[in-house]
Chain A
């Protein structure tokens, strides 16, 4: 029975891969001959966009109702951010994009980014330079603007609605800058931050990553709740196990059977009845 289950489990990823492959093949076959691909100056980008993005964002990139927003003013920054962190393409419309495996080659990403940038006026990919940044000021900016959702440690957490502020543990300085300019998902656009602020805050986040603030040893950067749990599980419960050992019943003393020698302690002089 066990063996059967295991064999069956082995088949799951194969079946899933086969299904995905089938879907990918058929869909690219049907859209490959799209007549719209020639409209763009960038053939590869437009072609990829038509294949991979248009079902939600529309062939013109102006969005499809109930499926995906317009990309007219998203700019190269947004496209670069979502493609390099694996947020796009989404598994299903109307869910929050999460970082994952990158689906495109470098060449494809550049082409898609150019294509999205050509749709309308939007922010360009920022040139974030952390070499001469002021980490201290970056920390102050971070605590005032970012920590409220991304957590002081950068660990990220669930926020209002069903949104989730992602962990910053792997965010590159460029991605930080792009997110600040674009405001992906539920994140607002922080238009008040200057280029220096962006450099500083990216440097501060880099510093958090180097400190390992979201490591297991730091309880994932989750703060006092995790510390409290650790106090119970790692300190109190072992100590209770030790009291179990130290306070274990001693048949000679705690169970004064008649056969025990004079070492048995029972009753002796106390308590005096009028002591109560």
Chain B
């Protein structure tokens, strides 16, 4: 019934606009279903929550470091001198109707956004979906990840509280550590010496205009490529390199996807309603003389924080320029990680010599080397993430911080090779394990007229294989 109404509506529009066949064709498009194919959509719907909540926040946020006296309703800060940016975020949190809820939604959605991107990226990697012809979309996707990190970082820096100021301070140091151009670049970006009075006002348009516009633009390309190149599918009965087996966009896939959107919005709302996030009233306004322990970036910058904390204090001088550990940990490590991510399709092509198009996905065990390298990389980056919170680890497990740091430094060198070897062995063992060749195959069962059950007749079995060979 509902379908009929929608179809009539579509007809009434397309008969006037002439887009009928195009629209009908696209509504009839087939998407394969697998739960891991929905993780990119988790990111997409987090982004929608981000844009909606962020729009509300822009109505009240002031991107300025002008000094004002706080006179809001949070007693412990009354009469303190704060920046206009901090003051406006305090107003959002304490006076604006729904402000704290929306602000917390925005922050939780940002954490979820990048977490879903990470899961989505892992799924693409471990199933080999980045291979030709979709290598082009892998590059687009990694660009989206970089943009998402940029959006997160600039947003984290806006409230001008003690945590965000500490984060920006570290960024200033990383820029300074660039050889040759560091000092000039830092002065250019910050408008002078730290802390200056410009950086919040400069990050604000980047956060609400430049980066979101780039994200939306690149995301459009990302989705258009998925649409045009068609979605990959796992191997299975009836599925070949030349077909797509699944559900049509309308109504099945669209309904599922819209349902997922509401689940994402619900999850973010629940987090925002139940859990406090980034209590800037505790951290207080940024003051270059103040500091707090347990100051971490949001989780997704944790790898960078970890490489800063775990890097030994190496320092070399080359032709009058100091190359210090901040350069290695801040610049070299992040360049290696993102360079490595961009190079994934290239490396795989070089190692396997496989230059063909692939539309069927591998299970992770089908490509032991790829899976092992991926797992080892995750282990290495994971140790960096733990290193970024090494004080939290020391606090939680009541261990000396120096011990935790030293253990993590060695773990960074030792654990990834172990993970590499173990993962590869597990993959090979799973792939080659004895047993029925088609252990995953489903056996159709028929119910007979008198209520009994039995295996479907031989004829229908033959019919499957015929279809799959066509």
Chains A and B belong together in one complex: yes
Contact A230 B30 (CB under 8 A): no
Residues of A within 8 A of B251 (CB): none
Task: Please give me the 7 A-B residue pairs with the lowest Cβ-Cβ distance, nearest first.
Answer: A228-B299, A258-B463, A162-B400, A158-B394, A247-B35, A231-B111, A225-B389
Contact B38 A243 (CB under 8 A): yes
Contact B395 A231 (CB under 8 A): no
Q: Does A29 contact B (CB under 8 A)?
A: no
Of A7-15, A52-60, A139-147, the one contacting chain B is A139-147
Contact A157 B463 (CB under 8 A): no
Q: Which residues of A are at the interface with B, using a C-beta cutoff of 8 A?
A: 135-136, 138-140, 143-144, 147-153, 155-162, 164-165, 204, 207-208, 213, 217-219, 221-232, 234-236, 238-240, 242-251, 253-259, 265-271, 273, 275-276
With A147-B293, A230-B271, A236-B115 as known contacts, state yes or no: A140 contacts B80, CB within 8 Å: yes
Bound-complex Cα distance A204 to B282 (A): 11
Residue from the list A161, A225, A267 in contact with B296, Cβ < 8 A: A225
Contact A266 B302 (CB under 8 A): no
Q: Does B62 contact A (CB under 8 A)?
A: no
Residue from the list A144, A229, A254 in contact with B246, Cβ < 8 A: A254
What are 24 A-B contacts with C-beta separation under 8 Å?
A136-B79, A151-B293, A152-B162, A152-B284, A158-B398, A158-B401, A159-B391, A161-B401, A161-B402, A219-B275, A221-B294, A224-B278, A224-B298, A225-B296, A227-B111, A227-B298, A230-B271, A235-B271, A239-B263, A240-B119, A245-B35, A250-B33, A255-B237, A275-B228
Query: B28-51, CB under 8 A of A: which get 1 and which 0?
Result: 111011111111001000000000
Q: Does B243 contact A (CB under 8 A)?
A: yes
Contact A243 B260 (CB under 8 A): yes
Residue from the list A152, A155, A161, A250 in contact with B247, Cβ < 8 A: A250
Q: Does B163 contact A (CB under 8 A)?
A: yes
Q: Does B242 contact A (CB under 8 A)?
A: yes
Residues of B within 8 A of A271 (CB): 230, 242-244
Residue from the list B284, B299, B394 in contact with A157, Cβ < 8 A: B394
With A148-B293, A243-B39 as known contacts, state yes or no: A230 contacts B275, CB within 8 Å: yes
With A158-B395, A257-B444 as known contacts, state yes or no: A235 contacts B287, CB within 8 Å: no
Residues of B within 8 A of A228 (CB): 111, 296, 298-300, 302
Contact B35 A152 (CB under 8 A): no
With A159-B401, A265-B245 as known contacts, state yes or no: A257 contacts B464, CB within 8 Å: yes
Contact B401 A273 (CB under 8 A): no
Residues of B within 8 A of A246 (CB): 35, 38, 256, 259-260, 263
- Kindly provide the distance from the CB of B68 to the nearest chain A CB, expressed in whole angstroms: 14
Residues of A within 8 A of B287 (CB): 143-144
Of A144, A226, A236, the most chain B CB neighbours within 10 A belong to: A236
Contact A239 B267 (CB under 8 A): yes
Of B6-14, B70-78, B323-331, B335-343, the one contacting chain A is B70-78
Of A223, A253, A270, the most chain B CB neighbours within 10 A belong to: A223
Residue from the list B77, B276, B357 in contact with A136, Cβ < 8 A: B77
Bound-complex Cα distance A159 to B111 (A): 27
- Kindly provide the distance from the CB of A168 to the nearest chain B CB, expressed in whole angstroms: 12
Interface residues of B in 410-456 (CB under 8 A from A): 442, 444, 446, 456
Residue from the list A148, A213, A227, A247 in contact with B278, Cβ < 8 A: A227
Contact B242 A273 (CB under 8 A): yes
Q: Does B238 contact A (CB under 8 A)?
A: yes
Q: Does B58 contact A (CB under 8 A)?
A: no
Residues of B within 8 A of A239 (CB): 42, 112, 116, 263-264, 267
- Kindly provide the distance from the CB of B159 to the nearest chain A CB, expressed in whole angstroms: 13
- Kindly provide the distance from the CB of B262 to the nearest chain A CB, expressed in whole angstroms: 10
Interface residues of B in 233-280 (CB under 8 A from A): 236-238, 242-248, 252, 256, 259-260, 263-264, 267-268, 271, 274-279
Bound-complex Cα distance A135 to B75 (A): 8
Residue from the list B274, B442, B461 in contact with A251, Cβ < 8 A: B442
Bound-complex Cα distance A131 to B75 (A): 15
Q: Does B283 contact A (CB under 8 A)?
A: yes
Contact A248 B35 (CB under 8 A): yes
Q: Does B155 contact A (CB under 8 A)?
A: no
Residues of B within 8 A of A265 (CB): 30, 245-248
Nearest-neighbor residue (CB-CB) of B442 within chain A = A255
Contact A213 B42 (CB under 8 A): no
Q: Does B334 contact A (CB under 8 A)?
A: no
- Kindly provide the distance from the CB of A165 to the nearest chain B CB, expressed in whole angstroms: 7
Residues of A within 8 A of B162 (CB): 143, 147, 152
Residues of A within 8 A of B107 (CB): 227
Residue from the list A152, A165, A276 in contact with B283, Cβ < 8 A: A152
Residues of A within 8 A of B141 (CB): none
Nearest-neighbor residue (CB-CB) of A215 within chain B = B276
Bound-complex Cα distance A203 to B274 (A): 28
Q: Does B223 contact A (CB under 8 A)?
A: no
Residue from the list B236, B290, B295, B463 in contact with A255, Cβ < 8 A: B236
Residues of B within 8 A of A257 (CB): 237, 442, 444, 456, 460, 464
With A136-B77, A143-B162 as known contacts, state yes or no: A213 contacts B237, CB within 8 Å: no
